[in-house]
Amino acid sequence: MKARHIDTLSKSEYSVLFHLINYNRLSALELSRILGYSRQNVSAILSRLVKKGYVVRLRVGKRVFYEPSSYGREYKPYPYKRFLLGKRAVITGASRGIGKAIALEFAEKGADVVINYRQVKHDPLAHEVAQEAKKYGVKVVVCRADISTENGVKKLYQATMEGLGGIDILVNNAGIIEPPADWLNLTRHAWLKTIDTNLYGAFLTTRYFAKPMLKQRYGKILYIASVWGTVGSANAPAYTASKSGILNLTKAMAKELAPYINVNAISPGNIDTDLTRAAGEEFIRDVIEQTPFKRLGTPKEVAKLAAFLVSSHASFITGAEVVIDGGFSLR
Ligand code: NAP
């Protein structure tokens, strides 16, 4: 048979083939549940793939399954890299740190991304992230908006709908530790600003973006919590309280939005970003000493976990907290 290139497949054909390669054998119904496509759409795509020789149809008793043909399997290495192809993702707080790494990881995996951030002075940083993401051939929208306010979230929602035409993945990553953060000096202003950004903001974005997800019966929501939300931080009570709140918000929203939307949380330990560096050298020395892996984590390590959790590889995971901390919270 004459060699054909994967590019001859549409995004949805490619996605179906990719999942058949991963799972080996699936029915049209199973595929439609994992991918969030309608049953009719999946059946039409499967018929085309069978006709093109990428997929074979099998009858087992009364049931019909699909498997990749040996020709279809040849494309295994390439689809593995682009497992978010065609998905539309919003990442809050993506101008730097963990959010930036997540946006770039998603773009590399094929997703269109919205880069959100708050400060005017970080316009150039956000545009640099956008330039880097565009190298992966995906659509990129840059949106400066304060997600701790309803107006900010509305602006982000509108920019997403206009720029990408919809949403499949929401990553609630934006977070702050507003000074003064220690319990003796913490002001009402600092308390409210931290809670408004880390907890209320994450809830507001969820409320806006979950609606189109529910309508299309498909979506992934990921919260970036923190191990401090469980173990308690001695010098940042508002931050710690906001992160414990996020962990329970994850469970509440996972129940509210089931069965079509997966809602999960990542709890990073100490990751090498501006937020951690702002705590000072002594803090960093201490936490490295308390981490069995004896180092800070990298934003890229968190981003790889995020890509897994919003992908179809994690289709049956919801309401979960995944800790990534080099063993820091082991006691
Ligand atoms: P970072 O480097 O300080 O970056 C924070 C990001 O959030 C920036 O892009 C910032 O935008 C954005 N942001 C802040 N307030 C916002 C608002 N109201 N609206 C929109 N965007 C806003 O922080 P990071 O270390 O990457 O942390 C990211 C997330 O991981 C946070 O939720 C944090 O709590 C969590 N986390 C971090 C660690 C760690 O060790 N670093 C550990 C556990 C959890 P600007 O650039 O415009 O300021």
Per the CB < 8 A criterion, the answer to whether 222 and 269 are in contact is: no
Domain boundary among 74, 99, 129: 74
Do 242 and 290 belong to one domain?
A: yes
Mutate to test the pocket of ligand 1, among 96, 227, 246 (most ligand atoms within 8 A of CB): 96
Domain boundary among 74, 109, 124: 74
Do 52 and 121 belong to one domain?
A: no
Do 149 and 260 belong to one domain?
A: yes
Do 126 and 252 belong to one domain?
A: yes
State which residues form the domain around 19: 11-74
Do 138 and 69 belong to one domain?
A: no
Do 199 and 286 belong to one domain?
A: yes
What are the tokens at 249? Answer: 């918000």
Q: Report the relative pairing of strands 63-68 and 112-117 from DSSP bridges.
A: unpaired
Do 141 and 251 belong to one domain?
A: yes
DSSP character string of 96-125:
SHHHHHHHHHHHHTT-EEEEEE--GGGHHH
Instruction: Please enumerate in sequence order all residues whose Cβ is within 8 A of that of 142, keeping only pairs 6 or more positions apart, or say none.
Output: 114, 115, 126, 127, 130
CATH number at residue 29: 1.10.10.10
How far does residue 177's CA lie from ligand 1's centre (Å)? Answer: 9
Mutate to test the pocket of ligand 1, among 173, 197, 290, 329 (most ligand atoms within 8 A of CB): 173
Q: Does a structural domain hold residue 95?
A: yes
**Residue 253 Cβ contacting ligand 1 at under 6 Å:** no
Ligand 1 closest atom vs CA 302: 30
How far does residue 174's CA lie from ligand 1's centre (Å)? Answer: 4
**Residue 172 Cβ contacting ligand 1 at under 6 Å:** no
pLDDT truncated to tens, each residue of the chain (331 aa)? Answer: 444 554 578 888 988 998 898 888 999 999 998 888 999 999 999 999 999 999 999 999 999 999 999 888 876 545 567 889 889 999 999 999 999 999 999 999 999 999 999 999 999 999 999 999 999 999 999 999 999 999 999 999 999 999 999 999 999 999 999 999 999 999 999 999 999 999 999 999 999 999 999 999 999 999 999 999 999 998 899 999 999 999 999 999 999 999 999 999 999 999 999 999 999 999 999 999 999 999 999 999 999 999 999 999 899 999 999 999 999 999 7
Residue 105's closest CA among 77, 127, 83? 83
**Residue 275 Cβ contacting ligand 1 at under 6 Å:** yes
Instruction: State how many domains the chain has.
Output: 2
